[in-house]
Amino acid sequence: MQFDNVWKLFAAQAESAAAVRGLSLDITDRELLVILGPSGCGKTTALRMVAGLEEPDRGDIRIGGKSVVGLEPKDRDVALVFQSYALYPHLSAQENIRYPLKVRGLSRAEQDRKVARVADMLGIGRLLPRRPGQLSGGEQQRVALARAIVREPRVFLMDEPLSNLDAKLRVHTRTELKTLQRELGTTMVFVTHDQAEAMSLANRIAVLNAGELQQIGTPDEVYDHPANVFVAEFIGSPPMNLLKATRDGGDLVVAGGWRLPAPKRGSAIDSAGTELTVGLRPEGVQIVAGGQPAEVVAVEPFGSEVIIDVRVNGEAIKVRAAPDVRPEPGRKVGLRVDPAAVRVFDNSSGDALN
């Protein structure tokens, strides 16, 4: 599936404020692509254009190499799972799942066979006689998934389908979805604003902001090598520490005199100005004896890890540490940076230089 320079403007929008601006994406067959971004970034609009609920103002959308622009939603061979699940309240779970097969005119025996198969796949056989009002949020979500799967579409489109679930069920369902997509071997496009959800689910992540694609890559690529300051701040919990820096010879100087090990020099860094932005993931900073002096401000335990808030010459920095590292607030500690963790960004454009 491809987005080819797709634009979408709603009434009274200037081109500079378009909901989707020149989006080009090549989604490979059987891939689970997550479109990630903050509210209002255009991710749901992009999904709705694939489904046929919105039409692009410019550009093309292709599925299987053929343009679907102008086709009715029913003719696009896609299945959309909504955030609200959108189940028919007067129908049982079985009839909700059966509905798209009835519309296609399949025989009753074929409908029963397909419904039974997908219900067994999702473990919801016992729920089939119940109506949506008798189901929990997680059960409704499974019924909505079953209704999409039973169609055997070419592409699954998922618009924040887990956002109504509680935290424990959301984690469990993420695992189920990833396993299910792999077993079905179907292309899936999943929209979310939750970066943890994106990191755990995706084969690749497409990060959007203000209607524009910021970066596309594997979860490791967008986390370890963000394309710009926006991606660096949006991906990761806690996000990347960003510090204003100056270049002094071969060193990067931050936080009032703290000299960091500069990354291997390249043409992009060499041609940049002397004022830069340095990015440090919290796990790239360690607490050590004899390191750069810092004052502990707060300690946030999370069971499997501890986030330690420190200040270095007035600059706030977050450090990810082992669960048994618990320095007292107000105490002085030393910091050391892993040279491989240093990322450098251009101050004016925000683009990554290494």
2-233 falls under which CATH superfamily? P-loop containing nucleotide triphosphate hydrolases (3.40.50.300)
Return the residue matching tokens 């046929």. 52
Which amino acid is present at 285?
V
Structure tokens at 327: 């320095």
Q: What is the CATH number of domain 239-346?
A: 2.40.50.140
pLDDT (mean) for 68-72: 94
How does the average pLDDT of the chain come out, rounded? 91
Give the C-alpha separation, 34 to 162, whole Å: 13
Reported as a single tens digit per residue, the pLDDT across 20-47 is 999 999 999 999 999 999 999 999 999 9
Give the C-alpha separation, 292 to 294, whole Å: 6
pLDDT at 162: 83
H-type alpha helices, the chain: 43-51, 93-104, 108-122, 137-149, 167-184, 195-201, 219-224, 229-234, 267-271
97-106, 165-174, 209-218: which has the minimum mean pLDDT?
165-174
Reported as a single tens digit per residue, the pLDDT across 135-146 is 988 888 889 888
pLDDT (mean) for 349-354: 90
Nearest to 3 by CA among 31, 26, 35, 20: 26
Give the C-alpha separation, 138 to 131, whole Å: 14
Looking at the predicted structure, is the pLDDT value of residue 12 above 60?
A: yes
pLDDT at 189: 96
pLDDT at 81: 87
Which residues lie closer than 8 Å to 334 by C-beta, 6 or more apart?
A: 287, 288, 289, 290, 291, 292, 293, 294
CA distances from 210 to 15, 23, 38, 39 (A): 12, 11, 9, 9
Extents of the domains making up the chain? 2-233, 239-346
Q: What is the edge-to-edge ordering of all strands in the sheet holding 258-260?
A: 258-260, 251-254, 241-248, 275-280, 342-346
pLDDT at 266: 63
CA distances from 209 to 50, 125, 189, 299, 338 (A): 19, 41, 17, 32, 30
Give the C-alpha separation, 212 to 202, whole Å: 19
pLDDT at 74: 87
pLDDT at 170: 82
CA distances from 348 to 115, 214, 272, 273, 278 (A): 56, 16, 10, 9, 13
Which of helix, strand or coil describes residue 178? Answer: helix
